[in-house]
Structure 1
Amino acid sequence: MPNPPALPHDDEHPIPFQQMVEQIPGLIFQLSRDANGVLKFIYLNERCMDVLGMNASALRQNASLLADLIVVNDKQDYFDTLMQSAHTLQTWYWKGRIQIPSWQDIKWVSIRATPMQHADNNVLWNGIITNVTQTKQEELAAKQMQARLLELTVHDEKVKEQERTRIAREIHDELGGNLTAIKMAISLLKRKLEVTNACVEKVDYIDKLADNTITAVRRIASDLRPSVLDLGLVAAIQWQVDAFVRHTGTACELICADDEISCPADQASALFRVTQEALTNISKHAQASLVHVYLEKNEMNTILLSITDNGIGIQSADQLKSDGFGLRGMRERIGMLGGQFNIDSSPQMGTVLNIALPL
C-alpha cells in the first residue's frame, strides 16, 4: 500500500490528530480485557492490513485472530507477557513471529502497550504493533556471525594448542636429548684429557653453558605446554599450588573431592593457565596470607574452578582495564570454550574468581 501523501501544515493549522495517527508506521490499537478475561480491540488504525495482513474490521470482531497468527513456539510467551501486564499494570512488551497465510511468509512483530485499569476491573491497553522483521534479521545475522567467529577462534586456539604441544615435545626430545649427550661428552672429556688450567676453565664454562641451556629448554617447553598436564588436571593444579607455596611462602590449599577429572586437552590447558595467572596475580598484588583453590565436576558435567584469597582486593577501576591483572586474557580464554568467568572483589575484602566450564 503506498504511503499517504504528506499533509501541509503550519503552526496555526496543525495536522488533525486522527490524520497524524494514520501516518505512524505501525498498527495503533486499544485493547480491552474484561473481568472474565475476554479480549476486544476497541480501536485499530488503518495500518492493520500493512502489519498483520488482515482487515481492521475482522480483528475488531474477533481479537483472537491476532493470536492465531503467532507461530506455535512464540504463542505461550505472548499470552504470558499479556497476563503479566494485566496483573502488574506494567508496560506490555512482546516480540515474536507471526505467519500470514496470504503472504506465505513469517514476519517478526513487536508489541508495546501501556495498561490502565478501570473501576469495573477492565484493563485497557494503548499501544502499537510494528513490523521489526528487518531489524530482527540483522540481529540474527549478527549473532550468527559472532557464533561463527567464536567457532573459528576456538578452532584456531585448538590448532595452536596442538602445535604448541608438538613443538614442546620436539624441543624436549630432540634438543633435550642432544644437550644431555653434550653434557655427558663434556664430563667424559674432563676425565680423559690432560689439560691445562686454561683448558679446564673453558671446559667448565662449556659445561655450565650446557646446564643453562638445558634449563632454558625445559622452561621453554613447559611454557609451550606444561608436561605436568600429562599427569591429569587435578595433579597439574596441585603442582601449581605446591609451586606457589614454595615460591611465595603463602598458605595455599587445593580442595578437590576427585582424584582426577577428565576433560579435553584444550580445556585442561585453559584451566591450568588461568590458575597460573590467578596465582601469579595474587603473589604480585593481593598481599594475601591465605589462598584456596576449589575444583570440582558437578552433576551438570561442568567443571567449576574457584580461587579465593584474603588479600586487599582489586579496585573497580583495575577490573575495568582491558589488560588489568590479565583479567581480559583469562576471560577470553574461558569464553572461547563456552565457559563463564566471574570475579568478585572489593578493597580490603579479598577476591573470589569463579569459572564454570561445560564439558
Structure 2
Amino acid sequence: MAGFTYRRLACDGRARTGVITTPRGEIRTPAFMPVGTAATVKAMHPEQVRATGADILLGNTYHLMLRPGAERIARLGGLHRFMGWDRPILTDSGGFQVMSLAGLRKLTEEGVTFKSHIDGARQMLSPERSMEIQRLLGSDIVMAFDECTPFPADEGVAAQSMRLSMRWAQRSRDAFGDRPGHALFGIQQGSVFPDQRAESAEALRAIGFDGYAVGGLAVGEGQAAMLGVLDYAPGMLPEDKPRYLMGVGKPDDILGAVERGIDMMDCVLPTRSGRTGQAFTRRGAVNLRNARHADDPRPLDDGCGCPACRGYSRAYLHHLTRAGEILGLMLLTAHNLQYYQDLMGGIRAAITDGALAPFAAATREGWATGDIERL
C-alpha cells in the first residue's frame, strides 16, 4: 500500500502550496476540509461536495462514537463506504467536543469520562480509545487525543493542560502503532503563550508525527490574538510536514492563516451559514433573508459557477430562505462550499506564481467593497 507523503511545490513568503499523497488520493494544499460531523456534509451529496473541488472531508470521533457507533460503522465496511465518500477523510480526536461538555465531564490523567448529550449514557475517551475509534472508522488522517485548552486561561492552567496533552500525544502515538497508508497528526497546545507553544512543539517533534496541528485557537480569542499566535507557532513545527489549523474559519481567517504557513483548515461555517441564509461572495457576506433581495432578478455572485448562481435569482433564493424551503439551504450550502474551494484554488495558484500578496490585497478589497447596489 502506498504511504502518506507531503511534498511542497512552491513557497511565497511563509505561505506554501503542495500535495499530500494518501492511498485514497491526493490533497492539494492549502486545503479547506468541509466538515461532515455525523458522516454527512449537511444538505450535500458526497459527489456534490467533490464537484466543488474538495479533496478531503472531516469526520467527528465524538459524534460518530455516540451515533451510530464506531463498531457498527466498522462492521458496515468503514466510514468511507458508510457515507459514500471514497477520498481521504480526517477524523478529529473528540477532544474539542469533550471540552464543550464542561458541566458533564470529569477529566483525569487516564482520559475523560462524560455523559452523552444524546441519552445521558456514561462514556469514556482516552488516547487509546480515541485511536481505537478512529481505526474502526478507517480514517486516513487520525488526530492525537488532546485537551483543547479553553480561552481565556491563565498561564498556569494553560501549561498544565498543554503538558497533559503532550503526555496524551505520546500515548496516542503508542496506541496508533504501525498503520501503513494512515497518518497520525500531533496537536500543538499552549494557548497564547509563546514559551508554552515552543515547549509543546519540541515535545511533539520528539515523539514524531506525520503532520502537526496548531490547536487551541478559534475558541473565542478573536482574530487578532489568533493571528498573533500564528505569527510564530507554525514556524515551530517541522517544515517538511503538513500544518493544520483546526476549526478555522472565515474567509479572511483562512487567508491570514495561509499567509503565516498553514496548509490545512476546516470549519462548519460555510455549511452552517448556508443553512441560515448567509452566503459568502467575492464582495463579502450576503444575507439572503434581507428584504432588499425580494425583487432582485440578478444572480447571487455573477463570478460563481455553482448551481445557485447559474440557475437562480437572488429573489428566488430569498423566497426559499424566508419560506424555510429545504432547497434554499441546499443551494446556499453548495454555493458556500464552492466559494471556499474557489478561494483555495486562487490561493494555491497565487502562491505558485509568487503573487500571493497582490491576490490577497485584491481579495480583501473585494470583501471590503460590499454587496452590489440594490435595485
> Which structure has the larger Rg over C-alpha atoms?
1
TM bin (shorter chain): under 0.3
The two structures have a TM-score, normalised by structure 2, of 0.21
- Which structure has more helix as a fraction of its residues? 1
RCO greater where, 1 or 2, for CA within 8 Å and sep 6 or more?
Answer: 2
